[in-house]
Structure 1
Amino acid sequence: MKREPPKSPCQTEIELDRLSSLPGHIIDQILSQLSIRDAVRTSVLSTKWRYKWATLPNLVFDNHCISLTSQDQAVIKSKLVSIIDHVLLLHTGPVYKFRLSHRDLVGVTDIDRWILHLSRSPIREFVLEIWKGQRYKLHSCLFSCQNLTHLELFNCLVRPPPTFHGFKNLKSLDLQHITIGQDVFEHLITSCPLLERLTLMNFDGFSHLNINATSLLFFDIGGVFDDVSFKNTFQLALVSIGLYAKDKIGKRPGYTSNLIKFFAHLPHIRRLEIQSYFLKYLAVGDVPLKLPSPCVDLGYLSLRINFDDCEENKAALCLLRSSPNLQELEILVSLLDPSNIV
């Protein structure tokens, strides 16, 4: 049997270093599918991979970025802070996306420092979810990030500096469990001219939802509020709205129906979900048989209704009569009042 000649050291090195021969865009694609922890680990694969992770434009720090058996929050917090500091220190190139969402993130004062660092980069997506503890007061530097297209905040206190004049490129805004003043909220919405998606859940600091947004297409809200009104929202097509407090609804007999006011600036609504007690809110005032202008584009309607409430029934019938092209209807029945059951 003829023996093959032994491979030279160069041949062996070439075969062992196949990962280094991968095109750069393939390496980037591989790294983009990994958690930040695993991406950093690839630095041991070869010299070409050693600092490749440091150019990742999307940084996600969540429950997958730490592997610890300890349940001690102090240990978890210390490790998380160390990882984020390490990544930001060694990172080269722009950061386009930053997401910080860890279940054990409590009392981390370093967030201010990280936001200051990110404000010097052309950040486009910023997500901050504080799951525990008191609400984090958002650092003012974030409001200077004019490249933002998506902003998502959870358990934050929002107080922009006086010099803030809006996010000129923001298209998506998601605010949940936040505190924000009435004037601040209204200014934030009106000063984002490209805003297309607005999500607002469980908020405090204001009670009147005055939505003035010319580019808005999608609006999802759930919380406790006194009133809602739309202005310049003629493109708004998808609305999901829930009022979580029955006692916030005041009776106004003899007044124009909330139904008419609500739909006045929604001529092209295509999908509507009415949840919790919001149908009762719409039933306040003089409910007409039909809306002055029919909802000709409305194809999907979901209603939560209390059939024991005559005013809610009137409001629902008015809406159905005003939706000539409705294709799909979902009716969710609220629990009946036990005193009305014979």
Structure 2
Amino acid sequence: MAEAEVDRISFLPLDIKLEILFILDIKDAVRTSALARSWRHIWTHLSCLRLNSEQDPLGDTYNNPNFCNVHFVTPSWIQRVHRLVSSLRGPLSVFQLHFSGLCLFSPDESCVLVETLLDLLLQKGGLKTLDLLFRNDPGKFHLPWFHSLQVLRLSQCCVALPTRFQGFHRLETLSMKNVQISSDDFNLLLRTSNNLTSLIIYDCGALGNLLSVNLSLPLLSHLQFTINELVENLSVVSSPCLEHAEIKLIRRDYSSQNLARMILQLVTNVVMVSSLKLDFDVLKCFSLVALPFNFTIPRLRFLMFFLDVNIIDRNVYDAFFWLLRSMPFLEELEVRLESNDESPTNDEYDQDDRVEILMRELLVQKYDGFACLERTVTSVTTNMLTLGVIPNIAWIQFFLLNAKHLKLLKIGYFFGGHLMSSFIEELQKAEVTSSDAKVMFFNSHTHQITNVYE
């Protein structure tokens, strides 16, 4: 046989062939059985299966012409998923199933299909990663007790734990987004996951009552928790390894003192973190309660928070000052400045004037008592939607004036590049304390960088 006719690919080791199949979609992977006798049923040795109802045409999935850009899934699709899993010869270590379209079957029928599939995965054994996403409500299904599970990601579903649940003892990552689960099941899941290092909870709710969560996870290092109307309590009782925390709010009532106390308690319980992100007007919540000015987060090196520059409440800025004073070794700070960019009315013009006056009175002056600004802060980033919002300049002037060892001040923006010259002209009037300060603009849309001065 001539060298050009030698079938070298068929003599590849099994693990190399499986790596080739892994990068294909499942339909093409199954079709490789027709390549040669040596490839027949190689795909059945796959240990990783990632399926998306919109990307993997396994059955009767279609786009209805009456609903533009809406993808529909029929029962035959998930039934073919069952047959695929049943055909695999070995255990599955990774299973991802995304219903990215609208299911053309009832929640009860969907629940039965999902539970049957999960039981099949349990029988296969060895599952380490489970990733389930549903675009519409599949009904409440019971989550089996997978002994070897290390990563669990659930999105847009309603789940319950089985009776006599003993915990996912090897679970390291738990991500739940838009998940409905009872408060008892949720706390049981956390209590029995002692190896958990990463916890991401986004817009989840309790079944029957409000969600109350007490975190006591010895190995937890990353926490991202979004608080909504269904969360009654959230506290970190004991998580000594926690390094990174991110707190977000999805609430209708941001003036609730109960919400403010819960956020304050959560922040004052994560004193060992080195990175902290506070989202959706956390400072506005802080302004509603008495702040413990002797509170410190000694290990914090990075802080990011969002703030609405149209807020004219003096207490918001007091909360900002308290936050800075509580972080004596802060090195990097990122401020996301939000504002109303619609065309303002006359009353809103008057309010903008009051905002600018207040911000200049509070921010554009020299302050003492900020240990981090005196010694450690070297990098500050301010991100804004448009350069046209004048009050944003006060934040930049505050850091230029007070950060003694500032090396880089980065101003990010998306719109308003044509206003840069007037913005720079105003910025150059600012007093600069650090002789090493470098100021630059960064357009987050075009990635264009403009240096003001060094």
TM-score normalized with structure 1 length: 0.85
Q: Measured at CA, do residues 311 and 164 of structure 1 come closer, stay the same or move farther in structure 2, by a change above 3 Å?
A: farther
More off after superposition, 85-94 vs 222-231: 222-231
1:31 is aligned to: 21
Per-residue deviation, 1:174: 0.7
Task: Say which SS state the counterpart of residue 63 (structure 2) adopts.
Answer: coil
- Contact 1:211/1:231 (<8 A) preserved: yes
Per-residue deviation, 1:218: 0.8
* 1:211 counterpart letter in structure 2: L
* 2:299 counterpart letter in structure 1: D
Deviations 1:87-133 (A, max 9, x none): 1221101111111003125243421211110011111111110112x
1:85 is aligned to: 82
Per-residue deviation, 1:146: 1.3
1:303 is aligned to: 305
TM-score normalized with structure 2 length: 0.65
Q: Percent identity?
A: 23
- Contact 2:93/2:127 (<8 A) preserved: yes
Q: Measured at CA, do residues 83 and 269 of structure 1 come closer, stay the same or move farther in structure 2, by a change above 3 Å?
A: same
1:42 is aligned to: 32
Q: CA separation in 2, counterparts of 1:246 and 1:74?
A: 31
* 2:148 counterpart letter in structure 1: N
Per-residue deviation, 1:229: 1.2
- The match for 1:244 among 250, 257, 269 is 250
Q: Measured at CA, do residues 124 and 273 of structure 1 come closer, stay the same or move farther in structure 2, by a change above 3 Å?
A: same
Q: CA separation in 1, counterparts of 2:98 and 2:270?
A: 35
Per-residue deviation, 1:35: 1.6
Q: CA separation in 1, counterparts of 2:40 and 2:49?
A: 17
RMSD of aligned residue pairs (Cα, Å): 2.8
1:71 is aligned to: 63
Per-residue deviation, 1:280: 3.0
* 1:19 counterpart letter in structure 2: I
- The match for 1:275 among 268, 279, 301 is 279
* 2:119 counterpart letter in structure 1: L
Per-residue deviation, 1:266: 2.0
Q: CA separation in 1, counterparts of 2:73 and 2:262?
A: 50
Q: CA separation in 2, counterparts of 1:136 and 1:158?
A: 8
Any unmatched runs of 5+ in structure 2? 65-69, 341-346, 355-454
Q: Measured at CA, do residues 340 and 311 of structure 1 come closer, stay the same or move farther in structure 2, by a change above 3 Å?
A: same
* 2:120 counterpart letter in structure 1: H
Structure 1 position 51 matched with structure 2 position 38: no
- Contact 1:66/1:79 (<8 A) preserved: no
* 1:51 counterpart letter in structure 2: H
2:119 is aligned to: 116
More off after superposition, 61-70 vs 123-132: 61-70
- Contact 1:172/1:196 (<8 A) preserved: yes
Per-residue deviation, 1:210: 2.2
- Contact 2:243/2:272 (<8 A) preserved: yes
1:94 is aligned to: 91
Q: CA separation in 2, counterparts of 1:325 and 1:298?
A: 6
- Contact 2:134/2:157 (<8 A) preserved: yes
* 1:71 counterpart letter in structure 2: N
Deviations 1:263-316 (A, max 9, x none): 44323211111111333334443213341xx22221211112244233332222
More off after superposition, 220-229 vs 65-74: 65-74
Task: Say which SS state the counterpart of residue 28 (structure 2) adopts.
Answer: helix
- Contact 2:29/2:43 (<8 A) preserved: yes
1:289 is aligned to: 293
Task: Say which SS state the counterpart of residue 163 (structure 2) adopts.
Answer: coil
Q: Measured at CA, do residues 199 and 217 of structure 1 come closer, stay the same or move farther in structure 2, by a change above 3 Å?
A: same
Structure 1 position 232 matched with structure 2 position 243: no
Deviations 1:173-211 (A, max 9, x none): 111111112222222112100011111111121343322
1:182 is aligned to: 183
